[in-house]
Structure 1
Amino acid sequence: MATPILHGIHHLKFPVADLDRSLTFYTRALNARRIETWDHRHADGTLYAVILDVPGLGPYLELRLDPIQAARQAGFDPVTLAVRDQSALDGWIAHLDAAGIAHSPILVAIQAWLVVFADPDGRRLRLYTQETHGPELPPNEASPWLAGD
């Protein structure tokens, strides 16, 4: 029997400790737009998850209220987002600075360049260039933004 075909990723799901705080962050950081008609509510009406449309991401992003799992992901980088090149990283640095979001400088990664920033739960998001470099550039392994790699 042949393996059935996948059709991409429908959505990503991040556990968060505080829905409002995370919604505000992802709106500021990634220009995410909440799709309120897709809000997830318990039978009593309490909100436990929101779905976001993030420009350029492709799949939707679900923020699910789960403080225990959110704490477990602090310092982890579950998603690396693609950007074109170093000039795109410069644009992201300007955007993050304007939004008051702390971030790394442009770092040398194994194959390309990246900028790292953290969400309110300490989950690290990486902006990684599609532009690559060769082995002549050693990665910034000592950076605290890459701790745990």
Structure 2
Amino acid sequence: MDRQVPPLDGVHHLKLPVCDLERSREWFQSRLGYVTAMEFREDGKVMGLALNHANGGPRLALRLDPTKAAASSGFDFFSIGVPTKDALDQLSERLTELGDTHSGVQVASLGWILPGLSDPDGHEIRFYTTESHKKAPEGQVYIVDKARPSGDPSTTKQLPAVL
């Protein structure tokens, strides 16, 4: 192992600023199956939550910070992996049944994406399959042109991966 490259061990947790902890807790629990693992209190008031997922999802932290939540509305901080396209299709159907709007399952550069879902504070939550429909070239940078849709309706169902 190269001594210049420090050892890392994946993502410890994801964190979002929120306006209302209880509303966000309920949303992540009812939509994605998260459960509360920890509460962080300051001067007797709950200011943060740590949420766990029982079926492979990343740990998630919610921090009460209405100013930052409002300022970051519309931004996609992270994308959550889903193992297969079938699982992504099922998630899409579940979210639709719960009344959430999203952009539907679409083809991405290497797999499939479910974009356009917003949490209660307007943060976009994206889901990408870890299953791929093609393989990126090894040993070279994979170039994605037109990473954002052009507005042409014929391209909206064929989105490449968007960082």
- TM-score bracket relative to the smaller structure: 0.7 to 0.9
Aligned residue for 2:76? 77
Partner of 1:130: 130
Paired amino acid for 1:9: V
Distance 1:67 1:132, change over 3 A: same
Quickly say closer, same or farther: Cα 1:109–1:4, change in 2 above 3 A. closer
1:106 and 1:4 map into 2 onto residues whose CA distance is 36
Cα drift, residue 79 of structure 1: 1.1
Q: Please report how far the alpha carbon of residue 140 of structure 1 lies from its aligned counterpart in structure 2 after TM superposition.
A: 7.4
TM-score under structure 2 length normalisation = 0.74
Does the Cα contact within 8 Å between 1:109 and 1:139 map onto a contact in 2?
no
Equivalent residue of 1:131, what SS? coil
One-letter amino acid matched to 1:68 = T
Structure 1 residue 39: Cα displacement: 0.7
CA RMSD of superposed structures (Å): 2.6
Are 2:20 and 1:21 aligned? no
Higher relative contact order by CA 8 Å / sep ≥ 6: 1 or 2? Answer: 1
Q: How many residues align structurally?
A: 140
User: Structure 1 residues 102, 7: closer, same or farther in 2, change over 3 A?
Assistant: same
Deviations 1:68-87 (A, max 9, x none): 11112211111111122322
Q: Which residue of 1 aligns with 2:10?
A: 8
In structure 2, the gaps of 5 or more residues are 137-145
Superposed structure 1 runs of 4+ greater than 3 Å apart: none
TM-score in terms of structure 1 length: 0.80
> What letter is aligned with 2:129?
T
Q: Does 1:61 align with 2:85?
A: no
**Structure 1: tracts of 5 or more residues without a match:** none
Q: Given that residues 40 and 47 in structure 1 are in contact (C-alpha distance below 8 angstroms), is that contact kept between their aligned partners in structure 2?
A: yes
- 1:114-135 Cα offsets, whole Å, 9 max, x none, are 1121101111111112233459
Task: After superposing the two structures, state which structure 1 stretch, 123-132 or 12-21, moved more.
Answer: 123-132
Q: What is the CA–CA distance in structure 2 between the aligned matches of 1:101 and 1:125, rounded to whole Å? A: 12
